[in-house]
């Protein structure tokens, strides 16, 4: 997403570690685990992929309202890579939710149309295909299930006990 200087999430993998980056996307998840000592984890998504954001306690205190309410978020921070995991340590967060309607505007958001997005055209149907479409679907065969909950558990979760 090139929304006001933000780089697409897909380009984060080719960006240097410790680089200062700006990303933007729809907020998918906000997490504040009790074991994380006040750190908040946010996952945002643009049309190319997802970006993981880390918000330290002091940054959260400065941008609390944005972190808690934004649906479309722009984040500027330092990119960190640990193995295959890439995340951005947030320094600045901006709520762009008011611009969600603009995403459909061609000038703001350049969309490439995939051939899969084209309208399907009515094509002549072969006689064999027409006959297959007229056939009634077979009802699914019922799966025999154990009646007692303990037997159901054994069927669903086979034991891995080694003693």
Asked if residue 99 is part of any domain, the answer here is yes
Looking at per-residue pLDDT, the higher value among 13 and 3 belongs to 13
Residue 125 maps to a domain? no
Quote the percentage of the chain above a pLDDT of 70.
Answer: 68
Contact at 8 Å (CB) between 72 and 96?
yes
48 in any annotated domain: yes
Cα end-to-end distance, the chain, whole Å: 54
Q: What is the pTM of this model?
A: 0.61
Share of the chain above pLDDT 90, in %: 43
Domain residue limits at 51: 3-105
47 within a domain of the structure (yes/no): yes
For 49-94, the pLDDT digits (tens) are 999 999 999 999 999 999 999 999 999 999 999 888 899 999 999 9
CATH of the domain at 60: 2.40.50.140
* Banded pLDDT at 163 (limits 50, 70, 90): very low
Do the domain assignments include residue 157?
no
Domain count, the chain: 1
Pick from 112, 95, 89: which is nearest to 26 by CA?
95
Which residue did the predictor score with more confidence, 137 or 31?
Answer: 31
In this predicted model, what pLDDT tens digit does every residue of 93-103 receive, in sequence order? 999 988 887 76
CB 33 within 8 A of CB 54: no
What's the whole-number mean pLDDT along residues 9-26? 92
pLDDT at 45 over 90: yes
Burial of 80 (0-12, 13-18, 19+ CB in 10 A): middle
The pairs formed by 136-140 with CB atoms below 8 angstroms and a separation of 24 or more are: none
* Residue 160 is assigned to a structural domain of this protein: no
Residue 158, in any domain of the structure: no
| Torsion 36-38-39-45 (CA) sign | positive
Q: What dihedral angle (degrees, nearest 10) is formed by the CA atoms of 110, 99, 59, 63? A: 180
């Amino acid at each position: 997403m090139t929304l006001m200087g933000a780089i697409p999430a897909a380009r984060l993998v080719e960006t240097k570690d410790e680089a200062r980056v700006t990303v933007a996307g729809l907020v998918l998840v906000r997490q504040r685990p009790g074991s994380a000592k006040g750190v908040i984890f946010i996952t945002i998504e643009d049309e190319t992929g997802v970006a993981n954001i880390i918000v330290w306690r002091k940054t959260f205190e400065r941008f609390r309202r944005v972190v808690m309410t934004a649906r479309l978020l722009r984040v500027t921070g330092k990119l960190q890579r640990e193995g295959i995991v890439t995340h951005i340590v947030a320094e600045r967060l901006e709520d762009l939710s008011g611009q969600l309607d603009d995403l459909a505007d061609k000038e703001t958001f350049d969309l490439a149309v995939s051939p899969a997005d084209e309208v399907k055209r009515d094509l002549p149907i072969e006689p064999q295909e027409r006959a297959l479409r007229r056939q009634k679907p077979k009802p699914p065969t019922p799966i025999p299930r154990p009646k007692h909950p303990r037997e159901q558990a054994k069927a669903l979760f086979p034991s891995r006990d080694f003693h």
